[in-house]
Amino acid sequence: MSLDELVHAIRTFPGVTRKNPIHEIVNLLPLDRFPQVVAAAGEDAAAVEFGDKYLLMAADGIMPSLVRLEPFYAGYFAVLVNINDIAAMGGVPIAMVDVISMISTKVCSQMLKGVEQAVRKFGVPVVGGHTHPDGEINSIEISIVGSVPKEDIILSTTAAPGDDIVFVADLDGFYPKNLPLAWDTTTLKDADTVQKQIAILPKIASEGLVHAAKDMSNPGNIGTLGMMLESSAVGGTVDLSKILKPKDVDLKHWCLSYQGFGFVFSCPPENSARVIELCESVGAPGSVVGKIDGSSELKLTLNGETKILFDFEKDIITGCRPKK
């Protein structure tokens, strides 16, 4: 695989390109009259003042293609992605609500089995929601509430020049049938193991080890980093040879994969070893893969060659950037 091939694959990857309309929606939702909202656009979860803590809120809708192909995983991932969004903010998940639409009771039953398994696995309840029994499609959306001490919150819009770029991911997983880009690290693990993994993010937050974080979602590890850099108005360089991956998965495939447990950190260099140590203690090895800089470019290097992946002076992933 050439560096040009990887750059093209990431730039044209639907997990990246489908994020583009986000800024158009965000721009229609004014927040300037609501000072209690301390974080919103560009973050994995919104943060709202709530006593001595921030209330964290996130929501995810599952793509129709996943519902068609693997309705069990559609329900399971609907929970997982929300849990990871709260964890990425350094928070603890509290409860969820769901919205389900159905044209097939069989498909709905499979989605709910996925939700049930995920609730038991992660120990976070679904406490209500809404059901359309006469819907025109099969679909599932879940929203979540969590909390984080004000002094511990981790944003994804505060990556800082000079920081290390740290990738961590659980490499002990598999790609389910029909889902070649969904790296499943949780369905075969016990509840204690996956809950300890999620709990390591609040631990990192409480020690004040990182400037920014995001969970590795549909855009893949590098695409997720790109969203962090874009929303932080910084650039960075990634040495692709430093990315840890399973031995039998090629680099391009790995870079486009959704991670069951994977996070990107912008980390002061003196803290990188501690972050990696904590993540490795719960079965998620990590490495320093690059550096944050003050440019507007995300660059990739491989075998002595360097290419610009995104130039945020002209390229848009989400368009969520600091207000000028």
Confidence category of residue 324, pLDDT binned at 50, 70, 90:
very low
User: If DSSP codes are grouped into helix, strand and coil, which group holds residue 4?
Assistant: helix
* pLDDT tens readout for residues 218-236: 999 999 999 999 999 999 9
pLDDT at 40 over 90: no
Average pLDDT over residues 299-309: 97
Q: For the domain covering 3-17+154-311, report its CATH number.
A: 3.90.650.10
Average pLDDT over residues 61-82: 95
pTM over 0.85: yes
- Token pair, residue 47, equals 């943060």
Per-domain residue ranges for the chain? 3-17+154-311, 36-150
pLDDT at 300 over 80: yes
DSSP annotation of 175 reads: P
For residues 183 and 244, the answer to whether their CB atoms sit within 8 Å is no
- The CATH T-level fold of domain 36-150 is 60s Ribosomal Protein L30; Chain: A; (3.30.1330)
If phi > 0 it is left, if psi is from -120 to 50 it is alpha, else beta; for residue 220 that is left
Residues 37/47/129/137 CA torsion (nearest 10 deg): 90
What residues contact residue 262 under an 8 Å CB cut-off, 6+ apart? 167, 168, 169, 170, 183, 215, 216, 221, 284
Residues 185/168/38/59 CA torsion (nearest 10 deg): -20
Average pLDDT over residues 175-204: 97
Share of the chain above pLDDT 70, in %: 97
